[in-house]
Structure 1
Amino acid sequence: MQAHQFRRDAVIIGGCGRVGLPLGIALASRGLTVTLYDINATAVDTVNAGVMPFAEEGADPLLAEVTAAGRLVATTDPASVGSAEHLIVVVGTPVDEHLNPDLGAVPRALEQCVEHLAPGQLVILRSTVYPGVTALTEKLLSSKGLAVDVAFCPERIAEGKALTELFDLPQIVAARTPEVTARAEKFFRNLTDQIVPLEPEEAELAKLFTNTWRYIKFATANQFWMMANDFGLDFARIRHAITFDYPRAADLPMPGFAAGPCLFKDTMQLAAFNRNNFVLGHSAMLINEGLPLYLVSRLESRFDLSSMTVGVLGMAFKGGSDDPRESLAYKLRKILLLKARETLCTDPYISDERFTPLEEVLERADLLVIASPHPEYRDLDTERPVIDMWGITRQGVLV
């Protein structure tokens, strides 16, 4: 089948999620016709109504525009995957309870609709995958007798900044042959002129290295913060001194919960790839995942938590986000439920029946902990003690 016989330019598997939907909107905003295939019927209906199912900066007006124009449609019909020349796979690639990667997430997503794939399609893997999954996908599709091309072109966006970064950041493109690389490059030039070609296995590692590097940097900052705390010193002052007009230390982050759906998971995928011989990655995991317990232990040394109501401010995995996935604020909540008389949680972006309005938390709590650095917490009007490891209140980070 030739490209001109396809009805649409692109179809995205998992298209109504936090990676697939911004990509679909971006492509449609550049004039392409895009179908979003998703098994979540509620999200499909929401998108087709021109409404964002989650927060993404700048997305609301664009989604309304491209859906009204018919350039972006969502569906639960698996037959839709054969309607476009470019089939983009965006599905979650988790690790299991033993921290082992799920190698079959992408192949399973394709197998469920493989009967609808069409000859001549370019299958683009967009999810972060364990090294070798691109080759595994190629073998799967070949075993089905499908004459399709496969490329691995990892997403590189920061959640909430997709509709800026999809156009501004270079796109890594990887395929087995120059011809397939050229097809993928031509497609992504609809978004950006900066293309970086790699071999598939190189690109798979490049994405894991990127997320792991960020995770390790956050762990370094968190370890430094704990060291300073243990000696009664304010890490914010120390960090300011070493980063002020000193470019070699400019990328040292502030401390905080390093979590979310990618960084921890991809660090563990990289560890598994290296036969679990990854001392640096595992050390980063112990530091970052241990931070809630460390924070509570510091609070216990200063306060009688058993007699106090503690307010946890922010439950998203990062500031300004409505995404609670893998947020360490929930681990903090679990520990405080054992230690404090009462624990109240609040978040301006996340709707949860367990949460309490901020005004009530400020009134009832004896102690406040900023667990997610939402901008709404920068200028808190309260006389209660505020624990702010992020430094957003500009009062120091000594706990």
Structure 2
Amino acid sequence: MNQKFQTQSESPSSIMDGADPFQKLQQKIQQQTATIGVVGLGYVGLPLAVEYAKAGFETRGIDLDSERVRRLDQGENYNDDLDDETVERVVGEGFLSADEGFGHAGNVDVFFICVPTPVTEHNEPDTSYIESATRSIGEHLRPGQLVVLKSTTYPGTTEEVVQDVLGKTQEGLQVGHDYFVAFSPERIDPGNEEYTTANTPVVAGGVTSRCTTLAEQAIGQVVQEVHTVSNPKVAEMEKLLENIYRSVNIALVNELAQLSERMDDVSIWEVIEAASTKPFGFDPFYPGPGLGGHCIPVDPHYLSWTAQRHDFETSFITLSARVNEDMPFHVCQSVTEAIAQQPVALSDATVLILGVAFKANVDDTRHSPAGTIIRLLQEKGVGTIRYHDPHVESYSVPGSNGEAIDVPSVALTPEALHGCDVAVITTGHDAFDAEMIAEHAPQIVDTRNALADVEERHREKIQLLGHE
């Protein structure tokens, strides 16, 4: 063990226990006798819990969604990125269980907080889920526990929220001596079969060096590579950089796509393909109908809010976010233009949205641009809007009064395509039959270049994003 950890003074609670909580927890982690608690069993938390269970750790999932808890306790998998048999096995063998609440939190040695971090209606960080989870953990806080925040958030959250709440809940315990706090951002890419929880490197930074060491050792039990940084703020900031890097570059090609539509004989897709032949200094990004998912649409606002606290304006990043947020409006305009080319009034037109998930081959609809496009078309008075998505059984969008409006789902058939006036490809699912769509839809707005390989005779009725 590193000498600097051996010489740190012990707190009163450590002396009463007869051993340093750091050493006790470290030993439990190394011997795989530590109990793991994962708060939030969504797209981040469940795969993480399964990895620990597979590694032989007693793992408890904690979620307030009674249906999730019920399904998991029965060994039922609800995550497309996980293998059904694996989930059933680790539950059946007793390595993974689920709790609707924190009743067993006192037995947990290592907590991972994997809860949502949305923004408010004013685009300010909403840390209420983190605060609630931390307060519940704090009620059971004892020496020898590690709390790792994984939810994407603004720099400072781990110390200003998690550490602060825990410290106020158990004032007799000292962070870095009795209990330990760190941040390690999630790096989940839904639908990615190559990079999973186990083989994707992660970053970790603790409130103290001891916190960092324990976080690295705990995470390293199920993740192949853990890169440590000097403090939680660095880890929180790097996560924002990861996602804003994508946001900025997507905004660049989205803007160039709109320019290309005004130019003769220029397709942004062909431009990107050509630029991609450069073996250095260029990474391809592609235009689309807008950003979706759990992080990229939100993270620029987190950083912008943080910048304001430091009397700084992230004008470049804010502008990029605005470009991306405007893309559904651009697509809506293309749809109404496609309707105008046909002998049908807007109020009598039928639009078929192909794909409401935010990315290809997943069922995640959070912040999907399809929802904004549907809402905008409704506001413009389009008569009928339907959707088809092989991964999403039901879908709704918020109405003008705030109530959810269900969007009818239809099978993707020649008859459904004939029955619409415009088909809008908003998600490039592999399951879509490109030739059938091109053959039977009267007009098509393709925002994903999903029909790139269809027969040339269909080209006249396809409006391709980024092509005149």
State the TM bucket, normalised to the shorter chain: over 0.9
Q: Which runs of 5+ in 2 are unaligned?
A: 1-16, 18-23, 395-405, 454-463
1:59 offset after TM fit, Å?
Answer: 2.9
Q: Are the equivalent residues in 2 in contact too, given 1:9–1:33 (CA < 8 A)?
A: yes
Q: Distance in 2 between matches of 1:221 and 1:69?
A: 49
Matched, 1:174 2:205: yes
Correspondent of 1:218 among 228, 246, 250: 250
Counterpart of 1:351 in structure 2 is: 393
Counterpart of 2:328 in structure 1 is: 292
Q: Which amino acid in the other structure matches residue 244 of structure 1?
A: T
Counterpart of 2:94 in structure 1 is: 70
Q: Distance in 2 between matches of 1:52 and 1:257?
A: 30
Q: Distance in 1 between matches of 2:300 and 2:250?
A: 12
Q: Are the equivalent residues in 2 in contact too, given 1:22–1:163 (CA < 8 A)?
A: no
Correspondent of 2:294 among 261, 267, 290: 261
The structure-2 alpha-carbon separation of the partners of 1:37 and 1:7, relative to structure 1 and needing over 3 Å to count, comes to farther
SS in 2 for 1:78: coil
Counterpart of 1:389 in structure 2 is: 447
Q: Distance in 1 between matches of 2:154 and 2:129?
A: 10
1:7 offset after TM fit, Å?
Answer: 7.4
Q: Are the equivalent residues in 2 in contact too, given 1:170–1:193 (CA < 8 A)?
A: yes
1:157 offset after TM fit, Å?
Answer: 1.7
SS in 1 for 2:288: coil
The structure-2 alpha-carbon separation of the partners of 1:230 and 1:339, relative to structure 1 and needing over 3 Å to count, comes to farther
1:303 offset after TM fit, Å?
Answer: 3.5
Counterpart of 1:325 in structure 2 is: 366
1:161 offset after TM fit, Å?
Answer: 3.3
SS in 1 for 2:186: coil
Counterpart of 2:227 in structure 1 is: 196
C-alpha distance after superposition, 1:251-279 (max 9, x if no partner): 33343431112111111000111117111
The structure-2 alpha-carbon separation of the partners of 1:196 and 1:104, relative to structure 1 and needing over 3 Å to count, comes to same
Counterpart of 2:75 in structure 1 is: 50
Q: Which runs of 5+ in 1 are unaligned?
A: none
1:247 offset after TM fit, Å?
Answer: 3.6
The structure-2 alpha-carbon separation of the partners of 1:41 and 1:131, relative to structure 1 and needing over 3 Å to count, comes to same
Q: Distance in 1 between matches of 2:211 and 2:449?
A: 47
The structure-2 alpha-carbon separation of the partners of 1:261 and 1:346, relative to structure 1 and needing over 3 Å to count, comes to same
1:8 offset after TM fit, Å?
Answer: 5.2
The structure-2 alpha-carbon separation of the partners of 1:245 and 1:37, relative to structure 1 and needing over 3 Å to count, comes to same
Q: Distance in 2 between matches of 1:113 and 1:183?
A: 18
Matched, 1:207 2:210: no
Q: Distance in 2 between matches of 1:108 and 1:90?
A: 12
Matched, 1:250 2:265: no
Identity %: 24
SS in 1 for 2:103: helix
Counterpart of 1:371 in structure 2 is: 426
Matched, 1:23 2:77: no
Q: Are the equivalent residues in 1 in contact too, given 2:290–2:369 (CA < 8 A)?
A: yes
Q: Which amino acid in the other structure matches residue 317 of structure 1?
A: F
Q: Distance in 2 between matches of 1:240 and 1:165?
A: 28
Q: Distance in 1 between matches of 2:283 and 2:245?
A: 15
Q: Are the equivalent residues in 2 in contact too, given 1:8–1:83 (CA < 8 A)?
A: no
Q: Are the equivalent residues in 1 in contact too, given 2:289–2:328 (CA < 8 A)?
A: no
Matched, 1:12 2:38: yes
Q: Are the equivalent residues in 1 in contact too, given 2:425–2:450 (CA < 8 A)?
A: no
Q: Distance in 2 between matches of 1:327 and 1:63?
A: 28
Residue correspondence of structure 1 range 279-318 to structure 2 within 5 A: 279-304=315-340, 306=346, 307-318=348-359
C-alpha distance after superposition, 1:206-225 (max 9, x if no partner): 11111111111111111111
Q: Are the equivalent residues in 2 in contact too, given 1:128–1:207 (CA < 8 A)?
A: yes
Matched, 1:99 2:129: no
Q: Distance in 1 between matches of 2:121 and 2:57?
A: 40
RMSD: 2.3
Q: Distance in 1 between matches of 2:280 and 2:194?
A: 28
Counterpart of 2:151 in structure 1 is: 127
Counterpart of 2:63 in structure 1 is: 38
Q: Are the equivalent residues in 1 in contact too, given 2:134–2:165 (CA < 8 A)?
A: no
Q: Which amino acid in the other structure matches residue 220 of structure 1?
A: L
Q: Distance in 1 between matches of 2:147 and 2:389?
A: 39
1:298 offset after TM fit, Å?
Answer: 2.7
C-alpha distance after superposition, 1:196-246 (max 9, x if no partner): 111211111111111111111111111111110122432112222221354
The structure-2 alpha-carbon separation of the partners of 1:202 and 1:83, relative to structure 1 and needing over 3 Å to count, comes to same
Q: Are the equivalent residues in 2 in contact too, given 1:212–1:266 (CA < 8 A)?
A: yes
Counterpart of 2:460 in structure 1 is: none
Q: Which amino acid in the other structure matches residue 280 of structure 1?
A: F
Q: Are the equivalent residues in 1 in contact too, given 2:290–2:326 (CA < 8 A)?
A: no
Counterpart of 2:8 in structure 1 is: none
TM-score normalized with structure 2 length? 0.79
Q: Distance in 1 between matches of 2:193 and 2:91?
A: 18
Q: Distance in 2 between matches of 1:277 and 1:246?
A: 34
1:164 offset after TM fit, Å?
Answer: 3.7
Counterpart of 1:183 in structure 2 is: 214
Q: Distance in 2 between matches of 1:128 and 1:189?
A: 20
Which shows bigger deviation, 320-329 or 289-298? 289-298
Correspondent of 2:383 among 337, 341, 348: 341
Counterpart of 2:139 in structure 1 is: 115
Q: Are the equivalent residues in 2 in contact too, given 1:378–1:393 (CA < 8 A)?
A: no
Q: Are the equivalent residues in 2 in contact too, given 1:219–1:258 (CA < 8 A)?
A: no
Q: Are the equivalent residues in 2 in contact too, given 1:46–1:52 (CA < 8 A)?
A: yes
Counterpart of 1:228 in structure 2 is: 260
